Structure 1
């Protein structure tokens, strides 16, 4: 359990940092991309307003309005662009390629005709050399299309993205390594508190056994002198009940102290049949029915005594809370693909419709709110079952269908 807390701490902290990095880097890249696109759009608009050229005749006030007061007019001459003009019949009547040298005239004509035929006023096209943003303007029966090499403008955004990814991944890896190194120290108070709690339960249990033994001996002596009475019988029942509670608490504490069970391949079907047969007479004597469907020769990776204890806990719980005249069912059947096998132990329980199934595996939880002693138990068995299933790397759950409560334990079968 402590290792799971440690791994969860590392996992959640890493996920939190990942979200922060993604948000931060994504925001920077997003802002950079938006500004680059705005810059491309502004340059294209200025080109169209000046017949596809950037020269000394450009309206300086308009340039500053679009790029901001700190923008230098000389910066406009850094862009690589070209333009193509068509008449109303779709014939090319002009071309300006004086501000770009990497694109031949034939390619410029081809790109211009492609955009003219598409009818799109704004967009981008790719050639062998680079990617170009374009914008068209129809005026006086002529259509002018200006193309701007956007690779230079987008290069800074791409560099920010690459650097951000490298720094983000490096930071995430380093942070995770640091977390792994210090996580033991971080959760040390939890480890100590959990250890002290288990030690307290174990030590208190052993200390309580001594006075209980004395009380039981004194009660037996009293019965030898005066014979059995209502009071001595009640004393004996309560002493036995308290002894079972202490034994269960000690068993649960010891189970949590064991860091790892000796798991091996076990004959699960055979063990389940053995446990079911031991409860058969008890269930039938209490005027209840037992329905069994156990597939043979199913093996799982677990611990033999622990798996037997798991079966006994589920069967005992099903018999204890089964309605009078109801049915206890045991099913152990693999799925069609033989990827998992599920142990389903159910019992009819008419009052279980509004039960809080999320609390069934908590210690001392009992669905009987009145804590009626007619239902013998302390709410520890299912908590022990959950611990065992977790140690076997399985999954346990509970569901309610057609006035029947089912406890489902899923394993991976061993072929």
Structure 2
């Protein structure tokens, strides 16, 4: 239990830290990209408005979230300008501000833009914009490789710092996890110890009550009081058995396992339930595939089946049906118990596995056979202890299905 809680605490904490760091990195780099984009857009706008002439440039509109542009920054920009006529014929190319572009490359870029019909956009690491100058047109290209390099530098730095922070926090969380969960473990240990001690202490009084009740019934004859005492002591015995099972499984002490033919084990349990179902006019159907063997604890598996069948008999109304199947589905073994239930039953089937939860909100005992809401919790714990999974669902209105998959 200690290892499980520590692992869950570390996983949940680091998941929250990971989400926070990812958000910070995305926010920083997203804002950085927006700032770089707006700065390059402003540079391109100034170029277009001035027609590429430095003496006509207007620096009175600074880009948002950035320092105002000046002549030095504009002269450090890398751009080239292509002049063409209305038919797309190249008339002039100006590559004074860039050395990596020659005449033919600039010409091909301009022709590509003219054929696309776009007035602005991106093209192979350049932003471009078109300005009509009478019958001619100027196509401006500004190099954005510096923008990309700046963005990736910030991205790498923020990612590296975040990864380092994540590792440091992971070490801190691992070192502190023991202290954080210690109060929780102490409370859980006291609870389990109380349940275990109470369970063992109550076994003897219950056995004595049951024995004395049977003796009185033999001497004075059976009456309604004997019947009620026997029913309630039986319920308490089942409750204590399930509580002790949960306490034992919570301690994560591995139970001895063996190869168990669960087909034979299931067939051994069925006759008693078939008789009870027949007495209440219930339709009991079963489909047991022969010779299914799994590695499990025989007593625990029998207890899980008993809980599911007891639960079905308790809550299936008269003239309803119970269906039990045990089949092999590929590499998995599947047990399905389905029965009729009240249509107004708990809408969330997962709540049925909560400890001490019962479907009747008043928590009354309208039936002598009603339970304490601990059986299904014990059944799921048994199933999970052997690598299985127990789920519940409503295949149709007025019926409930429990599926155990190993």
User: Do the aligned residues in 2 keep the contact of 1:245 with 1:378 (CA within 8 Å)?
Assistant: yes
Q: Which sits farther off after the overlay, 175-184 or 78-87? A: 175-184
Classify the secondary structure of the residue corresponding to 2:97: coil
**Residues 1:63 and 2:59 are matched in the alignment:** yes
Once the two structures are TM-superposed, the CA of residue 360 in structure 1 deviates from its matched residue by 1.2
Once the two structures are TM-superposed, the CA of residue 352 in structure 1 deviates from its matched residue by 4.8
Aligned ranges for residues 267-282 of structure 1 at < 5 Å? 267-277=261-271, 279-282=273-276
User: Do the aligned residues in 1 keep the contact of 2:281 with 2:319 (CA within 8 Å)?
Assistant: yes
Residue equivalent to 2:80: 82
Distance in 2 separating the partners of 1:153 and 1:218? 91
User: Do the aligned residues in 1 keep the contact of 2:235 with 2:369 (CA within 8 Å)?
Assistant: no
Residue equivalent to 1:37: 37
User: Do the aligned residues in 1 keep the contact of 2:345 with 2:359 (CA within 8 Å)?
Assistant: no
Distance in 2 separating the partners of 1:353 and 1:215? 35
Residue equivalent to 1:22: 22
Distance in 2 separating the partners of 1:216 and 1:298? 38
User: Do the aligned residues in 2 keep the contact of 1:263 with 1:392 (CA within 8 Å)?
Assistant: no
Q: Which residue, 357, 365, 369 being the options, matches 1:365? A: 357
User: Do the aligned residues in 1 keep the contact of 2:288 with 2:327 (CA within 8 Å)?
Assistant: yes
Distance in 2 separating the partners of 1:256 and 1:291? 34
Distance in 2 separating the partners of 1:69 and 1:19? 32
Distance in 2 separating the partners of 1:123 and 1:273? 75
Distance in 2 separating the partners of 1:70 and 1:134? 22
Over residues 214-262 of structure 1, what are the superposed CA-to-partner deviations in whole Å (9 max), with x where a residue is unaligned?
A: 6566667767886766556655554454344334333332232233334
**Residues 1:202 and 2:196 are matched in the alignment:** yes
Change (3 A) 1:308 1:239: closer
Distance in 1 separating the partners of 2:323 and 2:285? 5
Residue equivalent to 1:98: 96
**Residues 1:307 and 2:291 are matched in the alignment:** no
Distance in 1 separating the partners of 2:340 and 2:220? 45
Distance in 1 separating the partners of 2:326 and 2:213? 46
Aligned ranges for residues 139-218 of structure 1 at < 5 Å? 139-212=133-206
Change (3 A) 1:317 1:2: farther
Once the two structures are TM-superposed, the CA of residue 266 in structure 1 deviates from its matched residue by 4.3
**Residues 1:396 and 2:394 are matched in the alignment:** no
Q: Which residue, 301, 323, 326 being the options, matches 1:329? A: 323
Distance in 2 separating the partners of 1:378 and 1:169? 50
Distance in 1 separating the partners of 2:72 and 2:324? 85
Over residues 130-153 of structure 1, what are the superposed CA-to-partner deviations in whole Å (9 max), with x where a residue is unaligned?
A: x11111111211110111111012
**Residues 1:110 and 2:112 are matched in the alignment:** no
Distance in 2 separating the partners of 1:124 and 1:407? 59
Distance in 2 separating the partners of 1:187 and 1:173? 21
Q: Which residue, 337, 342, 346 being the options, matches 2:338? A: 346
TM-score by length of 1: 0.86
Once the two structures are TM-superposed, the CA of residue 280 in structure 1 deviates from its matched residue by 3.0
Residue equivalent to 1:121: 119
**Residues 1:255 and 2:249 are matched in the alignment:** yes
User: Do the aligned residues in 1 keep the contact of 2:266 with 2:305 (CA within 8 Å)?
Assistant: yes
Change (3 A) 1:236 1:322: closer
Change (3 A) 1:371 1:341: same
User: Do the aligned residues in 1 keep the contact of 2:128 with 2:139 (CA within 8 Å)?
Assistant: yes
Residue equivalent to 1:46: 46
User: Do the aligned residues in 2 keep the contact of 1:85 with 1:144 (CA within 8 Å)?
Assistant: yes
Q: Which sits farther off after the overlay, 258-267 or 366-375? A: 258-267
Distance in 2 separating the partners of 1:353 and 1:218? 39
Change (3 A) 1:229 1:106: closer
TM-score by length of 2: 0.88
**Residues 1:135 and 2:135 are matched in the alignment:** no
Over residues 338-357 of structure 1, what are the superposed CA-to-partner deviations in whole Å (9 max), with x where a residue is unaligned?
A: 25443110122244545552
The root-mean-square deviation of aligned C-alpha atoms, in Å, is 2.8
Over residues 56-78 of structure 1, what are the superposed CA-to-partner deviations in whole Å (9 max), with x where a residue is unaligned?
A: x134xx21423477544312221
Aligned pair count? 401
